[in-house]
Amino acid sequence: MAARTSSERRAVLKLLAGATAAWGLPAAARGAPAQLRIGYQKSAVNLVILKQQGALEKRFADTRVQWIEFPAGPQLLEALAAGSLEFGLTGDSPPVFAQAAGKDLLYVGAEPPKPDSSAILVLPDSPLRTLADLKGRRIALQKGSSAHYLLVRAVDKAGLQWSDIQPIYLAPADARAAFERRSVDAWAIWDPFYAAVQLALKPRALSTGRELSSNNTFYLASRPFATQHPDALAVLFEELTRADRFAQDQRPAAIKLVAGFSGLDAGVVSLFIQRRPVSPVGPLTPAIAADQQRVADAFHRLGLIPKPVRVADIVWRPDTAK
């Protein structure tokens, strides 16, 4: 899948913003849930800002709001499917693996693509110069994460077969350690891990999402939460879009909030926020759903998921909520 053109990205932004506005977002949630457990990662800028500002605790005054951090999307969706969360955010690949495994969850929203926020990295003195040089090499990645699809696209672009490489499935922290001690030849990774290692080690990027993948971001919810509390979802998207405006318009304050939460250096936070486009949140557009179906189809063609999945089957629509 080719990276989006600027005009396509602007169209997606317009559609998302229009969908959010057309939803008639309420000033406060009606029928607010008794509890709202939110799964997030350090890369979830909009969610982190809301957490640090206490915005949802104000909007859902009678709701017990809990924040639970995860190292990557697959672990987050395991918790969501197990009933330990109501709402969370991941990249493109985790929902595909979850759906193929029969997990009961719903796509409820999306942010625009972030193609500059992921890369396939090698150390500065690595002999690898092109994607074709990945043949026979050990490549670290989080299984079922957005980096998984990034590597699938890289292998395809290089004219290789998946069997030509040696994927080494590691969580981000373990992958960085393996990368630094040269136990692997390359690392497929996303922000803020990408930004952190970029500033610390000055690795080279064989390719980024700009050349390989749209790198969409999705909000998912448990089926009971989405069907029983559509007004709460509307409030969540309103607040997430407001948080994005804060990140864009008050960048120094946003960097301070995210750095204070994450423990990351402010320079790292500044770099990865800088790579984010304007990211309003709203229901999935047809274009984003089509992108996601291509992700699912690619994993199935390679036998990386056990069965084909139809993304549209688990896309929630506000106009069908009861």
Give whole-number Cα distances, 222 to 80, 144, 236, 320, in Å: 6, 19, 14, 16
Go through 189-206 and write b for each residue having 16 or more CB atoms within 10 A of its CB, e for each that does not. bbbbbbbbbbeeeebbeb
> Do 6-113+215-320 and 118-212 have matching folds?
yes
End-to-end CA distance of the chain, in Å? 35
Closest by alpha carbon to 47, among 62, 35, 36, 63? 36
Supply the pLDDT for residue 32.
Answer: 82
Distance, CA of 42 to CA of 40 (rounded, Å): 7
Q: For the domain with range 118-212, which CATH number is right: 3.90.1580.10, 3.40.50.1100, 3.40.190.10, 3.40.50.720?
A: 3.40.190.10
Supply the pLDDT for residue 31.
Answer: 65
Supply the pLDDT for residue 320.
Answer: 60
Q: Which long-range CB contacts under 8 A does 255-259 form with residues at least 24 apart? A: 257/48, 257/49, 257/52, 257/53, 258/45, 258/48, 258/49, 258/52
Ranges of each domain in the chain: 6-113+215-320, 118-212
**Superfamily for 6-113+215-320?**
Periplasmic binding protein-like II (3.40.190.10)
Supply the pLDDT for residue 261.
Answer: 86
Residue 100: CB atoms within 10 A of its CB come to 18
187 Cβ contact list (under 8 Å, min separation 6): 120, 121, 122, 139, 140, 141, 175, 176, 178, 179, 197, 203
Supply the pLDDT for residue 321.
Answer: 55
Supply the pLDDT for residue 3.
Answer: 37
In tens digits, the chain (322 residues) has pLDDT values of 333 344 444 443 444 444 444 344 343 435 689 999 999 988 889 999 999 999 999 999 999 999 999 988 899 999 999 999 999 999 999 999 999 999 999 999 999 889 999 999 999 999 999 999 999 999 999 999 999 999 999 999 999 999 999 999 999 999 999 999 999 999 999 999 999 999 999 999 999 999 998 788 999 999 999 999 999 999 999 999 999 999 999 999 999 999 988 889 999 999 999 999 998 999 999 999 999 999 999 999 999 999 999 999 999 987 765 4
Answering whether pTM is above 0.95, one says no
